[in-house]
Structure 1
Amino acid sequence: MKMIFSVSLLLFLAACLPVQVDESSHITEEEVVTALQDNGVNLIEAEFKKNIFGSKLGDVKPRTYEVNEKPFFIFEFKSDNDLDKGKNEFAKKTETMDLVSASTFEKRNILIFYVHEQDVNSISVPFIKEIQEALDNIIEG
């Protein structure tokens, strides 16, 4: 229950941040994959059966990967606004679920779920720092 509240609060707070950008700042899933691999995050394409983190949000179906044998989902939305709608849809879909531990990352129109199944506050979750650094290093526009 704590996890659901934490994820919902995180999604709500992120949705409240007003950000206006032009279309030239659109980031592609390929750019994200390249940045992650350049930063030492080994992505392996994978398929996962009936995983809520990999469910379609709006009209976007995520690309699915494994990182350290754990599910990793990358959503490429058409805009920041569509990303916000996707996050809200995910929050509604999962509000009554007891989810496994996952980390959420965002960069413009990109949403990532890394389902590591470890304590979110743990410093031992592999690749968290590398994923965030890779996203921070993506040049926009």
Structure 2
Amino acid sequence: MKTIKAFTMLEALISLILTGIIIALSYSLFTLVNKQMALFEKENTSIIEYNLFNSTLANDINNSNNFEYLDNELVLENYAKPQITYRFENNYITRGILDHKQDSFKLQVFNKQYKSITPKYNQLNMSLLLLNDTIQVNYFLTKQNSSVINQKLFHED
């Protein structure tokens, strides 16, 4: 009689148990990595949002020749481009160009202060909440000499 070479039931059972353990560990590792990637993506999105807001506002301030700050609203004027308006709310900031184009930045803003240093120089201070940390940002607004002279002498706004 010929004997057939095969695994015993005990060997097959042990290999199935080991395979199940490896699959369970792989699944838990995959779940952990997936959660960490989601957290990283959320943090990265917040940082990108802040960097986009900061560079856009700094660029708009540098290109403006006149500005006005009234009750949570910063209006920047430029000779060549349309007027740009920033509205600072508690949970977001909006940027509008003559109500044609609207951008929004999902940043929590608190402790806004607008200081008039001289008729030509002003300062905008804000505290932003980013990744459960407070960031203090300062923007220095400068009016062009022609705007200051026109306001003083001719009462133009």
Higher RCO (C-alpha under 8 Å, 6+ residues apart): 1
TM-score (norm 1): 0.26
More strand by share: 2
Q: Max radius of gyration: which structure?
A: 2
